[in-house]
Structure 1
Amino acid sequence: MTIHVENLKFQCIIGILDFERTSPQDVIINLHINYDYKEDFIDYAKVVFFIKETMIKSEFLLIEDALKEINLKLNKEFKAIKSIDLKITKPSILPDCMVSVSNFTIFES
């Protein structure tokens, strides 16, 4: 099974520039989680809450650090996860484009 979370938008502190450390900015999360569905399912509402809470509380300097931390925490919380394809976008950081960083992680059983 695959869970798709598309265009999850919220505000948080993320970035290394001075103004990014003082004012929350929009981020957009796109996520695909592949997992083995047997008897238990992964509650996508909990996944969304988990991601938002992690990003808001952590105030990451780099998107790369946020990606690594979210992957580790999701894998620890939801043992059925086989892989995560996660993209974090900062839609307003540059005036003429949206900037994103993504990664795809496969977890060993």
Structure 2
Amino acid sequence: MKIFIEDLNFQCIIGILDFERKQEQDVIINLEIEYTYDKNEFINYADVAELIKKTMKQEKYLLIEDALLNLSQILKENFSKINTLNLKITKSSILPDCRVSVEELTSFDS
């Protein structure tokens, strides 16, 4: 089974530049979760989205790469049924003429 969360938009502190540490900026999260579905145990996508937003706002990551690695670990800890996770973080307004993204595919041993 796969869950897709596309274009989850919110603002948070992320980045290494001085102004990025002071002013929240727009981020967009896209993810794909592959998991083993069981009628009695499923992954609630609303809980996934909320956990991502809460974590990103609390942690105030310096690098997108660090956010990806940490979020992957936190999601697996909270949703043990995850087999693979493809997570992409986009900073949509950091450069005037493009969006910048970093993506990570993580496979967990089941």
Tell me the TM-score normalised to structure 2 length: 0.98
Residues 23-50 of structure 1, C-alpha deviations (whole Å, 9 max, x = no match):
0000000000000001311000000000
Aligned to 1:106: 107
Aligned to 2:69: 68
Tell me the TM-score normalised to structure 1 length: 0.99
Structure 1 unaligned spans of 5+: none
Aligned to 1:7: 7
Structure 1 residue 64: deviation in Å? 0.3
Aligned to 1:84: 85
Other structure's SS at 1:60 match: coil
Aligned to 2:16: 16
Query: Share of identical aligned residues, percent?
Result: 57
- Corresponding position: 1:33 with 2:26: no
- Corresponding position: 1:57 with 2:58: yes
Q: Which runs of 4+ in 1 moved over 2 A?
A: none
C-alpha separation between the residues in 2 aligned to 1:37 and 1:46? 16
Count of residue pairs the alignment pairs up? 109
- Cα RMSD between the aligned structures? 0.5
C-alpha separation between the residues in 2 aligned to 1:68 and 1:21? 20
C-alpha separation between the residues in 1 aligned to 2:79 and 2:61? 22
